[in-house]
Each structure stands twice: as structure tokens, then as C-alpha cells.
């Protein structure tokens, strides 16, 4: 079985709304199960809302894209906020970004993101933290 990949909002939104880097991002997760912290739902909903407000003439398209997101097969997992906050503080990330990093590192999964700072923190944390099995959480 192909290993899962943690996908963040920047990556998923690029695909969902057919942004410039969307195809490249999708290739990085093609054929792999997707995992994300539950907050991905809120981040994608907020991006959809912002797009609708900026481009009201395209609101139907954005709502359709959001519906596609809601139907996507993504396993949403909880995070350990105490550890996530420490990671965010240590790496200079938001708690949101640290949630994706923590999830990927602790599960021993790849992280797909367009956020260079988050990817850098992910690489640093991978070197510093031994992975745990997904069954362990």
C-alpha cells in the first residue's frame, strides 16, 4: 500500500482552485491517501469565502470547488496541541502550520505544502523527532 501524505491548505487550495502550482502539487500526492489536521476544513472554507468576496461573479464556481473539497477523501486527525504549541514556538510557525508539521513528523509521512518555511521546519523536525505509527494516535 502507498503511504499517506499530509497535505496543507496552501497545497490543497492550489489544486482546488486550479492555481498556477496546482498541477505540480497534485503530482506530489497522486495515488496516495491524504491526511490533514481537522483545521484544513476551516482554512479551505475561509479561502473559498475570501475568493467569493473578491470575485462575486465567480461565487458559484468557488462554491462548486468547495463542494469538491468536501467530497475529497481526506482522513482528518486530531493533533496534540501542547506539543504543537511547543513546535510552533521552537520553529517560528503559527499553530496552524505547526499542526501540519507535527502530524507529518509524528506519523512518518511526507508533507505537501507550498509554504517554504513550513517545509523547512518539517525537515528540521524530521531530523529531531522519531516517527510513531499512525495506529499509535
- CATH number where 68 lies: 3.40.50.1010
User: For position 137, what pLDDT does the model report?
Assistant: 43
The answer to whether residue 92 sits within a structural domain is yes
User: For position 134, what pLDDT does the model report?
Assistant: 37
User: For position 130, what pLDDT does the model report?
Assistant: 57
Task: Report the chain's mean pLDDT, rounded to a whole number.
Answer: 92
What phi, psi does 7 have (nearest 5°)?
Answer: -115, 130
The answer to whether residue 136 sits within a structural domain is no
User: For position 2, what pLDDT does the model report?
Assistant: 72
User: 115, 10 in Cβ contact below 8 A?
Assistant: yes
Cell of 90: 521552537
Rounded Cα gap, residues 48 and 77, in angstroms: 22
- Host H or E run for residue 77: strand 74-77
Q: Please, where are the H alpha helices in the chain?
A: 9-16, 22-29, 39-54, 59-71, 81-91, 95-107, 116-128
Q: How many domains does the chain have?
A: 1
Q: Which residues contact 99 (CB under 8 A, 6 or more apart)?
A: 37, 39, 79, 84
Coil vs helix vs strand at 111:
strand
pTM of the full predicted structure?
Answer: 0.89
User: 112, 29 in Cβ contact below 8 A?
Assistant: yes
Structure confidence by residue, pLDDT tens digits, 101-121: 999 999 999 999 999 999 999
Which residue is associated with the grid cell 487550495? 13
pLDDT higher than threshold 50 for residue 135: no
Rounded Cα gap, residues 16 and 22, in angstroms: 8
Structure confidence by residue, pLDDT tens digits, 57-115: 999 999 999 999 999 999 999 999 999 999 999 999 999 999 999 999 999 999 999 99
Q: Which residue range(s) make up the domain with 105?
A: 5-131
The answer to whether residue 102 sits within a structural domain is yes
The answer to whether residue 137 sits within a structural domain is no
The residue-averaged pLDDT of 1-12 equals 91
User: 137, 107 in Cβ contact below 8 A?
Assistant: yes
User: For position 74, what pLDDT does the model report?
Assistant: 97
Amino acid at each position: 500500500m502507498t503511504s499517506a501524505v499530509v497535505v496543507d491548505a496552501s497545497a490543497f487550495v492550489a489544486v482546488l482552485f486550479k492555481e498556477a502550482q496546482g498541477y505540480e502539487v497534485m503530482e506530489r500526492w497522486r495515488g496516495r491517501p491524504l491526511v490533514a489536521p481537522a483545521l484544513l476544513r476551516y482554512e479551505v472554507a475561509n479561502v473559498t469565502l475570501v475568493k467569493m468576496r473578491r470575485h462575486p461573479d465567480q461565487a458559484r464556481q468557488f462554491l462548486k470547488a468547495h463542494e469538491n473539497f468536501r467530497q475529497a477523501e481526506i482522513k482528518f486527525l486530531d493533533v496534540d496541541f501542547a506539543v504543537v504549541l511547543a513546535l510552533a514556538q521552537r520553529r517560528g510557525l503559527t499553530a496552524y502550520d505547526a499542526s501540519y508539521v507535527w502530524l507529518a513528523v509524528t506519523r512518518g509521512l511526507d508533507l505537501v505544502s507550498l509554504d517554504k518555511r513550513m517545509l523547512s521546519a518539517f525537515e528540521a523536525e524530521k531530523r529531531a523527532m522519531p516517527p510513531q505509527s499512525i495506529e499509535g494516535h
